[in-house]
Amino acid sequence: MKVTKKVLTYSLEFIVFVILLILFVVFYMKNEVGDFTKQRTSVTTRHENSTELEFPSIVFCMKPGSKVSVAQKYNLEKLEDFFDSDDSVFFREKLANLSFNLNEDFQIFINENSLHLGMNFIRDISPRRSRQLELPYMVESIVTIHHATCIKIQPEFTVKADGFQLDFKVQLKDSLLEKPRGFYLYLTSNQTWAGIVAENWINFQPTKVYVDFQTTFVGYKLFVTQQKFSEGETDISQCQANHNSNCNCSTVTYANLPLCHATADTVCKPGYKGWYQDCFKPRMVLTFNPIEFDVENYLPINPLSSTVSLILWSMIKEIKEEIPVITTTNFIGSLGGSLGMFFGFSFAAPLIYILRLILNKCLKNSE
Whole-number Å distance between alpha carbons of 147 and 243 = 24
From CA 161, how far away is CA 313, in angstroms rounded?
9
Domains, the chain, in order of start with CATH, read 5-40+328-366 (no CATH), 47-65+100-232+281-324 (2.60.470.10)
Q: Residue 320 has what pLDDT? A: 93
pLDDT tier for residue 360 given thresholds of 50, 70 and 90? confident
Distances in Å between the Cα of 59 and the Cα atoms of 150, 154, 220, 253 are 7, 8, 15, 13
Among 77-81, 141-145, 178-182, 331-335, the range of highest mean pLDDT = 178-182
Between strands 316-324 and 41-49, the pairing is antiparallel
Whether pLDDT at 126 is above 70: no
Could you tell me the pLDDT band of residue 153, with boundaries at 50, 70 and 90? very high
pLDDT in tens, 33-65: 666 666 677 788 999 999 999 999 999 999 999
State the pTM of this model. Answer: 0.74
Asked if residue 29 has pLDDT above 70, the reply is no
Measure CA 112 to chain center: 32
d(CA 106, CA 102): 5
* b/e code 287-314 from CB counts within 10 Å (16+ = b): bbebeeeeeeeeeeeeeebbbbbbbbbb
Average pLDDT, the chain: 79
Quick one: pLDDT at residue 90? 72
Q: Is the pLDDT of residue 100 over 70?
A: yes
